Amino acid sequence: MIEGYIDPREELVLEGPFGDHTGFLLARRLLPEGTRHRRDLARRSHLAAHDRGPPTDGGLYLGHATERIFLPLLKLTIPEIVDLHMPPRGSFTTWLFVSIDKQYPGQAYKVMSGLWGQD
């Protein structure tokens, strides 16, 4: 179990690097030293230092499934889309490759505006 407190008068300490949800490490930074642990833990867990880089486990399959699930839905509102790919190197959140059936100049801008509007 993790418990914590933050005393605003306490000096900040350099902590980290911590693992991010994308699989990469965040930089070290000054944080309040407030996290403590109990002797009678309800559940033990650990974060392995080698678990960094692009997702290679369940997240990899979920990312590819997300592509396939949302492709037909996106085609309903943006029919020019032929296919799309979210690469694992972009952690399925920051990169998107889109293949379109281009018919006129500026159509790619229209498609991207349409994709940015999907939320």
Which amino acids are annotated catalytic? 20
CB 71 within 8 A of CB 63: no
CB 118 within 8 A of CB 74: yes
Sign of the four-CA dihedral 93, 2, 17, 45: negative
